[in-house]
Structure 1
Amino acid sequence: MSSQKKKNFQIEAFKHRVVVDPKYAEKTWKVIEDAIHEIYNHNASGLSFEELYRNAYNMVLHKFGEKLYSGLVSTMTAHLKKIAVSIEVSQGALFLEELDKKWAEHNKALQMIRDILMYMDRTFIPSTHKTPVHELGLILWRDNIIHAIKIQTRLKDTLLELVQRERGGEVINRGLMRNIVKMLMDIGSLVYQENFEKPFLIVSADFYRAESQFFIESCDSGKYLMKAEKRLNEEIERVSHYLDSRSEVKITNVVEKEMIESQMMRLVHMENSGLVNMLVDDKYDDLGRMYNLFRRVLNGLSLVKDVMTSHIRETGKQLVTDPERLKDPVDFVQCLLDEKDKHDKIINLAFNNDKMFQNALNSSFEYFINLNTRSPEFISLFVDDKLRKGLKGVIEEDVEIVLDKVMMLFRFLQEKDVFEKYYKQHLAKRLLSAKSVSEDAERSLILKLKTECGYQFTSKLEGMFTDMKTSDDTMQGFYEAYGHELGDGPMLAVHVLTTGSWPTQTATTCNLPSEILTVCDKFKTYYLGAHSGRRLSWQTNMGYADIKATFGRCQKHELNVSTYQMCILMLFNNLDGLGYREIEQATEIPSADLKRCLQSLACAKGKNVLRKEPMSKDIGEDDVFFFNDKFSSKFYKVKIGTVVAQKESEPEKQETRQKVEEDRKPQIEAAIVRIMKARRVLDHNNIVTEVTKQLQSRFLPNPVVIKKRIESLIEREFLERDKDDRKLYRYLA
């Protein structure tokens, strides 16, 4: 099969020269020109647009496009010059109305002219790079109308005057303004900018500069911010109604600069109404307004944050160093919580929960809480108050809320190990005296502490709960073994505490009554028989007892007292009129504890089961005590608390501090060894930095102490100094 080559056919133009009448172009243009006149004179209804289009088409086809185009320019220009005159002579408010009306008519005429000259627009204009008909109409309007000497300045001044009148509270024709501004934009954004926007921004800056000066002299900070906010919203609204949307950022920048940025220092520090007053008086609306306005300007929020931080730090410093506040630890911590709640609410409601402000608040609290070395102790006492007494009339969830707030304060503590020391003491007292509000609440807080600080922080605390459970099981076994021997004698409940888990207590030498001593010896025999190799020492200072007492007129009561108080009261079964020294000798209770016990038994109103001579609030060594047979109470069970120092005395505080410092030494050494084992060689400054970083979740180690621990490790040959560089240490494997 053979293939044939395809033939390409081409149709060529007819080469016979067409002769055109020399007067054709003039005649045809005259028809189109007359039509343009009619269009501008509003007589377009009688025109045949089909015929006009054909005429324009033929002119372009017969190479008379240039004549058609230049004729269009001159005809439109002539009409626009006439229109300019009619606009110029219009008086007052009619000026803009005439301009708007003529613009609408010009647009309509332009649309018709473009329809007639559509073929020229599509073929001749692109090939000759001339301006399209519609765009040409806009340029001619700009040059002959907008830029006319008698119109340009008048237009600018009229528009600015209307804006000024509106700012003054007058109602203006916004629709007309919108049409005029749109006209300027349609002609070109540069026309809008040069003929209106630039002068508008300059005049606005002058206006707001003067207004801000007037307001700052006559208003307080809150009222000034309201006026600034109102002006800002007015400008945003103005843009939405009749200005170009791109003008919004420019005019708001003007308002922000003149009304906010230039005055923000005075607004923040204004006497009796500035930022500090707003914070103190919880003026959420004013603070929110300040936040929203100041965030618009450079460094505005930083200024607010810095002043707020300075105020909170100063307030907090006064709070934690006020001697009156320090008298009541619970009130001290409650004030801290109230202060935190207050500012949290401000940041939430007024500052949009801004992280920058939250961080500033937290760093401020961390700063001033740690100014008082007793803060860890007081926070533990606050927890003790809530978990020991419970919150009257409230549910478990409310206790949880309080504990969550306490944890927030706990996070700010730099000496978390000091808190742990006190918390362990207070928890021990609650558990041993069965005064805890609930085991769930106690365990909840321990879980929070474990989440915050890790297992090691709470392992001993959890061990205390284990001991309590084990003790219950031990007592059950004891009564099963010895219950028949005890008969009607005193009932005993013993808690066996593991040394190390519980706070270390100085062994006491209190003499227990013989009846109690008998049952105690039986328990000791039982326990050591079940657990060989262990040693028991009685902690009588940590116990309590329920004893039955009969007063005058056979009035019977059950008294809930401490073990020490029980030992004192039992003396009065056989004797009366005992002197302080006799009681001290018979019981061997330490002097400080004895005085507190006697004070609670003889001086507490409504609990005075003893009376003393001479009668006074304090206990003296020459005082004599008697059984108060006139004691009465409307309750059968009477709880007699011990007068306890709510916070540690100065010597006790020093002792606790010493114990904490001792406990820190092995922790610092362990951290040094861990770091050196990993790094092998390290200089002194880097060791201090790394140790601080590792231990800061529990406490901030003192660089001097770190240095001493390094020296100790060198002596024990864990580390050695570099021979050439004394500040460089090496790990000895």
Structure 2
Amino acid sequence: MNAPGSMRRPGGTRGTKLKPPKKPGLDISFEDMWLRLAHAISQIQNHNISKLSYEEHYRYAYNLVLHHQGDMLYRGVKKQIQAHLDRLCREKIIPAFPPGGAASVSAGIILPESLLRQSHATSASSPQSRADSDSAAPSTSAKGKAKAVENDDPTSSAAALATMSATQAGDRADAVARIQAGERLMTAIRDTWLDHRSCTSKISEVLKYFDRAYVELHKVPSINRLGLEIFRDSVIRSAKYPIQIYLYSTLLTHIQIEREGSAISRSLVKSNVDMLADLTQHKPGAPPDEDPSVYSIDFEPAFLQTSAAFYSAEADRWLDAGDAPKYLAHVARRLNEEADRVSVYLKPETAKPLQQLLETHFLARHLATIIDMPGSGLVSMLDQHRTTDLCRMYTLFHRVADGPHKLRLGLKSYIAAKGKLINDAVASQTAAAPSTDAPVESSTAKLAKSKERESDASTPQAATAIRWVEEVLEFKYKFDAVLEGAFANDTGCETAINEAFESFINTNKRAPEFISLFIDENLKKGLKGKSEAEVDEVLRKTICVFRFLHEKDTFERYYKQHLAKRLLQGRSVSDDAERGMMAKLKVESGHGYVVKLQGMLNDMKTSEELMEEFGRVVKRSDRGMPMGLGVSVLTSTNWPISAQAPSCVMPEEMMETRRRFEEFYASRHNGRVLTWHANLGSADVKVAFRARSHEINVSTFALVVLLLFGDVEEGVALSYGDISKRTMISDSDLERTLQSLSCGKYRILLKNPKSRDVNKTDTFTFNCSFTCPLARFKIQQIAARVETPQQRQATSARIDEERTVLIEASIVRIMKNRKQSTHNDLIQQTVAQLSSRFHPQIPHIKRRIESLIDREYLERSPTDRNTYIYLA
């Protein structure tokens, strides 16, 4: 059997191998093959391919590659493409150059120096570029190019730049003419590009085997890629013709013309930009699909640089106009325009650097200028409630790194300035207002007149306090609306606003007192013009101001005083309203904050039940009551009342009534002692005058004084000394009582001599001739609702004492739980525990620590003086 791969020769000889047949001879030479191929390529470039045979010319290329003539074919194709493009440049592109040079198109746009240098130098960055230059223009040397520049060749880049520079300071060419000139050039380049791509594609089809066999083996660009590189270096980056500078000037000029408001052919610009994006430059070591494009290397930097110059100048012009809202509206419009421009005819990768450029030149460099712009900046926008403009400012400022911070600083500065005006106005009004409890007699008399003029004895200082809170609430409401409507409830802006409000509110040392007075005003019975729901809404807003207070314990003290007056005088709007307010305070400061306040309400409810029971006991009794009685039994620890009752000698009928109640109370509560505070009570008394009788509501002290005149003849006067001796009322209380009866609107007593002052030498007579159209009326007791400096000092001292106890209690709780703590940790924990009531001062905490060490609650660690140990 014959072995595989062998065959028997005719002579029977075995083992002889057959040689492959010799290749048949070629009908034509390699030179003729190339000439025929070159002719076919020329016909393709001339768009005359109807008579060409694809199979024939494919075979020519196949045979050339097969017979190792690929180098000749590659060089020949490259040279022919270069020659064709050179002819197209001369015949189509160069004639489309503007007659006046690049300046007639650019209108003063100057390209970056790096691009200008590149435009009139050979592309020496790659071996391929040098080869192209050598083959496409063998007669052009570096010396020849230099000579062309020196001779001011109108087609050279240097000449174009010179023309641009010479006309930059002159009159700008007509926009329409520039657009038309630019469109002619862009059309010529686009048509040349499309023609070249079409021809290269057909040539590549003919040389498909060449691409597959030769290109891959020799690691050279394919015919299509070669065509792109030749177009890049022979047309766009031509060392022979300044096409690049003319094209880029045209593109940039058209973009600027569109920015200035004129219409351009966007499709024509897009086709040229797409061409630049398709042309790439090989990056050593990178895959071909990652090579950067001519667009990104050359055009984009030039575009960004000219855009920066354009928008920098435009920003300066608009800022000089001094209208921040219009400036911001223009910036927003420009951002939208450029985003649209990128989406229509630029490349997506340009979007981010272009946006950053706009943000830098329009915003980042001018944040302070925009905010502080006189008459139209942030202050003006806030003053005029320009929510839309504020929203635009917020949106734009959040596009740049420092924008939100600058905006927050501007908000804080505005609030601080307006808050200072509010505080200063209050300070000036307080200084001008008379003191409510000053020793000067005239001040007290003026206050008496004011109290008769205003319901519930609203002194000028009380009115000032209420006005301050109203202005703060209005200011806060305004910024709540701004925060929601303009700043999208941004957390950073909200924090800045709250910090600014907290700062200026606590700058007013009387803020706790003022807020308490405002709440008191809104929780009083008989408040005109507001429903209970409206009052609740006002109080809800007031809690927002309360939240900013540092000294909440000070507020608590004032609130207790005002609540006590409302409850004891029967002026609270309702028990539900009071408890609703306490619920709001409880949410803010915890249950412990309102325990005593709730105890005060409970005392009043218990007193009502007690008086109902007392009334039933009196009815069942055989003994009648000399006069009606209403008693509020108060728990001394809940109420802001001194344990020592003020002195007052009451008439016998009042004493008898009091004894009857004491007997009743003792029968139900063994061991309890009642302390009577007549200064907090009131009475309804029927007084007969010559004209008619009137039912008058007066203070208990006033009733005691009036009863003295029931025992004297008509017209008989009682001296101040007599009244003081018989009633034993303190001078300060007696002065206010006599002023309310003789110096106010309802002058039940006549004072001699007539004056607004009450002196110890004055005498008083019952006014039998008193007349009043009202059957019932109330004579207000003069009592300061706003503290005097002396009272405020005493209140401050009591608050300091309470804080001392609270600080020590907090320290002991912390140390009892932790047993051992460093100094800094103990300070921080103490501040954290007490911050809901007040902001303790660090020196105060240190003093309390030392006091606890002295009293052996704590001791210092023997090994570390900065560490404390709890002593059980």
Q: 1:239 aligns with which of 337, 342, 350?
A: 342
The one-letter code of the counterpart of 1:627 is N
The one-letter code of the counterpart of 2:267 is G
Report the Cα distance in structure 2 between the residues aligned to 1:633 and 1:655, rounded to whole angstroms: 43
Q: Helix, strand or coil for the counterpart of 1:546? A: strand
Q: What's the counterpart of residue 303 of structure 2?
A: 200
Residues 607-628 of structure 1: CA distance to partner in whole angstroms, max 9, x if unpaired? 4455544444443441524336
Q: What's the counterpart of residue 546 of structure 1?
A: 684
Residues 1:79 and 2:84 aligned together: yes
Report the Cα distance in structure 1 between the residues aligned to 2:420 and 2:243, rounded to whole angstroms: 68
Q: What's the counterpart of residue 781 of structure 2?
A: 642
Deviates more, 1:673-682 or 1:24-33: 24-33
The 5 Å alignment of 1:543-622 reads 543-554=681-692, 557-575=694-712, 577-605=717-745, 607-621=746-760, 622=762
Report the Cα distance in structure 1 between the residues aligned to 2:24 and 2:517, rounded to whole angstroms: 116
Q: What's the counterpart of residue 406 of structure 1?
A: 542
Deviates more, 1:451-460 or 1:716-725: 716-725
Task: Determine which structure has greater relative contact order: mean sequence separation of CA pairs < 8 Å that are 6+ residues apart, divided by chain length.
Answer: 2
Q: 1:491 aligns with which of 628, 641, 644?
A: 628
The 5 Å alignment of 1:302-451 reads 302-322=405-425, 323-326=427-430, 327=461, 328-388=464-524, 392-451=528-587
Residues 1:536 and 2:626 aligned together: no
Report the Cα distance in structure 1 between the residues aligned to 2:755 and 2:47, rounded to whole angstroms: 115
Q: Output the TM-score relative to the length of structure 2.
A: 0.74
Report the Cα distance in structure 2 between the residues aligned to 1:536 and 1:437, rounded to whole angstroms: 28
The one-letter code of the counterpart of 1:437 is V
The one-letter code of the counterpart of 1:649 is T
Q: CA deviation at 1:174?
A: 2.0
Residues 1:502 and 2:639 aligned together: yes
Q: Mark the CA change 1:255 to 1:702 in structure 2 (over 3 Å): closer, same or farther.
A: closer
Report the Cα distance in structure 2 between the residues aligned to 1:126 and 1:562, rounded to whole angstroms: 114
Deviates more, 1:411-420 or 1:143-152: 143-152
Q: What's the counterpart of residue 8 of structure 1?
A: none
Q: CA deviation at 1:594?
A: 3.1
Report the Cα distance in structure 1 between the residues aligned to 2:210 and 2:616, rounded to whole angstroms: 119
The one-letter code of the counterpart of 2:358 is V
Q: CA deviation at 1:309?
A: 2.5
Contact 2:513 2:558 in 1 (8 A): yes
Q: Which runs of 5+ in 2 are unaligned?
A: 1-18, 98-180, 281-291, 431-460
Contact 2:820 2:868 in 1 (8 A): yes
Residues 1:458 and 2:458 aligned together: no
Residues 1:90 and 2:96 aligned together: yes
Q: CA deviation at 1:384?
A: 0.9
Residues 232-256 of structure 1: CA distance to partner in whole angstroms, max 9, x if unpaired? 4443333233222222222233333
Q: Mark the CA change 1:127 to 1:507 in structure 2 (over 3 Å): closer, same or farther.
A: farther
Q: 2:194 aligns with which of 104, 107, 114?
A: 104
Q: CA deviation at 1:648?
A: 0.6
Q: What's the counterpart of residue 143 of structure 2?
A: none
The one-letter code of the counterpart of 1:84 is C
Q: What's the counterpart of residue 626 of structure 1?
A: 766
Contact 2:749 2:764 in 1 (8 A): no
The one-letter code of the counterpart of 1:98 is A
Q: CA deviation at 1:78?
A: 3.5
Q: What's the counterpart of residue 4 of structure 1?
A: none
Q: What's the counterpart of residue 457 of structure 2?
A: none
Q: CA deviation at 1:650?
A: 1.4
Q: CA deviation at 1:530?
A: 0.7
The one-letter code of the counterpart of 1:473 is E
Report the Cα distance in structure 2 between the residues aligned to 1:69 and 1:391, rounded to whole angstroms: 102
Give the RMSD, CA atoms, in angstroms.
3.5
Contact 2:62 2:209 in 1 (8 A): no
Report the Cα distance in structure 2 between the residues aligned to 1:27 and 1:416, rounded to whole angstroms: 106
The one-letter code of the counterpart of 2:561 is Q
Report the Cα distance in structure 1 between the residues aligned to 2:36 and 2:532, rounded to whole angstroms: 97
Q: Mark the CA change 1:704 to 1:98 in structure 2 (over 3 Å): closer, same or farther.
A: closer
Deviates more, 1:416-425 or 1:233-242: 233-242
The one-letter code of the counterpart of 1:79 is H
Report the Cα distance in structure 1 between the residues aligned to 2:428 and 2:654, rounded to whole angstroms: 44
Q: Mark the CA change 1:468 to 1:389 in structure 2 (over 3 Å): closer, same or farther.
A: closer
Report the Cα distance in structure 2 between the residues aligned to 1:37 and 1:472, rounded to whole angstroms: 117
Q: Mark the CA change 1:697 to 1:59 in structure 2 (over 3 Å): closer, same or farther.
A: farther
Q: 1:186 aligns with which of 265, 269, 278?
A: 278
Q: Helix, strand or coil for the counterpart of 1:500? A: coil
Residues 1:652 and 2:791 aligned together: yes
Report the Cα distance in structure 1 between the residues aligned to 2:738 and 2:59, rounded to whole angstroms: 126
Q: CA deviation at 1:412?
A: 2.0
Report the Cα distance in structure 1 between the residues aligned to 2:247 and 2:679, rounded to whole angstroms: 96
Identity value in percent: 39
Q: Helix, strand or coil for the counterpart of 1:413? A: coil
Q: What's the counterpart of residue 719 of structure 1?
A: 858
Q: Mark the CA change 1:525 to 1:81 in structure 2 (over 3 Å): closer, same or farther.
A: same
Q: Mark the CA change 1:68 to 1:675 in structure 2 (over 3 Å): closer, same or farther.
A: same
The one-letter code of the counterpart of 1:371 is T
Q: Mark the CA change 1:654 to 1:110 in structure 2 (over 3 Å): closer, same or farther.
A: same
Contact 1:559 1:637 in 2 (8 A): yes
Q: What's the counterpart of residue 176 of structure 1?
A: 268
Q: CA deviation at 1:196?
A: 1.9
Q: Mark the CA change 1:127 to 1:427 in structure 2 (over 3 Å): closer, same or farther.
A: farther
Q: CA deviation at 1:152?
A: 0.9
Contact 1:391 1:399 in 2 (8 A): no
Contact 2:747 2:770 in 1 (8 A): no
Q: CA deviation at 1:291?
A: 3.4
The 5 Å alignment of 1:115-154 reads 125-126=215-216, 128-148=218-238, 149-154=241-246
The one-letter code of the counterpart of 1:597 is T
Q: What's the counterpart of residue 256 of structure 1?
A: 359
Aligned length: 716
Residues 566-615 of structure 1: CA distance to partner in whole angstroms, max 9, x if unpaired? 3334444444554444443444333333333333344443x445554444
Q: Helix, strand or coil for the counterpart of 1:262? A: helix
Q: 2:655 aligns with which of 498, 513, 517?
A: 517
Deviates more, 1:267-276 or 1:503-512: 267-276
Q: CA deviation at 1:421?
A: 0.9
Residues 1:692 and 2:831 aligned together: yes
Q: CA deviation at 1:382?
A: 1.3
Q: CA deviation at 1:529?
A: 0.6
Deviates more, 1:378-387 or 1:672-681: 672-681
Structure number with bigger Rg: 2
Q: Mark the CA change 1:531 to 1:126 in structure 2 (over 3 Å): closer, same or farther.
A: farther
Report the Cα distance in structure 2 between the residues aligned to 1:662 and 1:640, rounded to whole angstroms: 37
Residues 443-500 of structure 1: CA distance to partner in whole angstroms, max 9, x if unpaired? 2221222222222211111111222222222222222222244768643332211121
Q: Output the TM-score relative to the length of structure 1.
A: 0.87
Report the Cα distance in structure 2 between the residues aligned to 1:121 and 1:325, rounded to whole angstroms: 95
Contact 1:56 1:119 in 2 (8 A): no
The one-letter code of the counterpart of 2:680 is M
Q: What's the counterpart of residue 815 of structure 2?
A: 676
Report the Cα distance in structure 2 between the residues aligned to 1:715 and 1:176, rounded to whole angstroms: 91
Residues 160-183 of structure 1: CA distance to partner in whole angstroms, max 9, x if unpaired? 222232333322222221221122
Contact 1:291 1:350 in 2 (8 A): yes
Report the Cα distance in structure 2 between the residues aligned to 1:46 and 1:428, rounded to whole angstroms: 114
Deviates more, 1:401-410 or 1:290-299: 290-299
The one-letter code of the counterpart of 1:688 is I
Q: What's the counterpart of residue 5 of structure 1?
A: none
Deviates more, 1:419-428 or 1:57-66: 57-66
